């Protein structure tokens, strides 16, 4: 149940072998949100499938992916999540705490074909967001410090935007930074996601 009182049905999948959690839900405006947590690489992928607005003559949908680093301690592990979902798969849950909003300024874009250096799960999840998959330089630097990673392999998969002011993600072209926000409501899920 979200702040406005409406019930949002979330589908949560936990893969213990891959140390992975996938959460998916649909917002009331029809936007489909998928959150992938790759615990091995400390990679969070937020995929948003936004429906076109018929009033504006937009008949197609748009897919965007936002890739960020996360701290493992911020989320329940894939093993614990698997056990939790088996116990009460259809329980209506209230958020345990309001963790506020986080604003991200995405500073670069990712080439899907080369994104396995970040996480091997990105190509499958973000294949429709080939020209709109975004990343932050600060996360690239943090990932490069993890064992088995290097900044050179990460930089081969990404391109920085030319320096400009961030704009709305829905208005940005392939080569411009954008700002997006997630509202975290529990330790293991978020219930709101929007681009400014």
Residue 196: predicted pLDDT: 44
Task: Summarize pLDDT for 101-120 with one digit per residue, the tens.
Answer: 888 888 999 999 999 999 99
* Domain residue limits at 142: 10-195
- Structure confidence by residue, pLDDT tens digits, 146-168: 998 888 899 889 988 776 555 55
Is 158 among the domain residues?
yes
Instruction: Identify the pLDDT of residue 27.
Output: 86
The tally of domains found in the chain comes to 1
Report the helix count and the strand count for the chain, using DSSP H and E: 4, 12
HSE of 94 in the Cβ direction (CA atoms, 13 Å)?
Answer: 3
pLDDT (0 to 100) of residue 187: 40
pLDDT tens across the length of the chain (196 residues): 455 556 567 888 899 999 999 999 988 888 899 999 999 999 999 999 998 776 666 668 899 999 999 988 888 888 888 777 566 666 666 767 777 788 888 899 999 999 999 999 999 999 999 889 999 999 999 999 999 888 889 988 998 877 655 555 555 555 555 666 554 444 444 444 444 4
The beta strands (E) that lie in the chain are given as: 10-15, 20-26, 32-38, 43-50, 62-69, 101-106, 108-110, 133-135, 158-160, 167-168, 178-184, 190-195
* 1 inside domain: no
């Amino acid at each position: 149940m979200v702040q406005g009182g409406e019930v949002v049905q979330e589908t949560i999948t936990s893969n213990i072998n891959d140390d992975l959690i996938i959460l998916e839900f649909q917002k009331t405006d029809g936007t489909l949100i998928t959150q992938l947590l790759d615990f091995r690489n400390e990679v969070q992928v937020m995929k948003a499938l936004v429906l076109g607005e018929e009033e504006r003559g937009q008949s197609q949908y748009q897919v965007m992916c936002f890739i960020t680093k996360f701290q493992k301690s911020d989320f329940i592990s894939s093993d614990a999540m698997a056990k939790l979902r088996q116990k009460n798969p259809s329980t209506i849950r209230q958020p345990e705490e309001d963790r506020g909003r986080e604003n991200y300024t995405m500073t670069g874009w990712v080439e899907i074909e080369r994104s396995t250096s970040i996480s091997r799960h990105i190509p499958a999840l973000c294949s429709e967001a080939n020209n709109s998959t975004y990343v932050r330089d600060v996360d690239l630097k943090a990932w490069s410090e993890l064992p088995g990673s290097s900044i050179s392999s990460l930089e081969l998969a990404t391109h920085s935007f030319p320096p400009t002011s961030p704009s709305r993600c829905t208005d940005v072209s392939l080569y411009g930074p954008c700002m997006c926000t997630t509202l975290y409501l529990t330790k293991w899920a978020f219930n709101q996601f929007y681009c400014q």
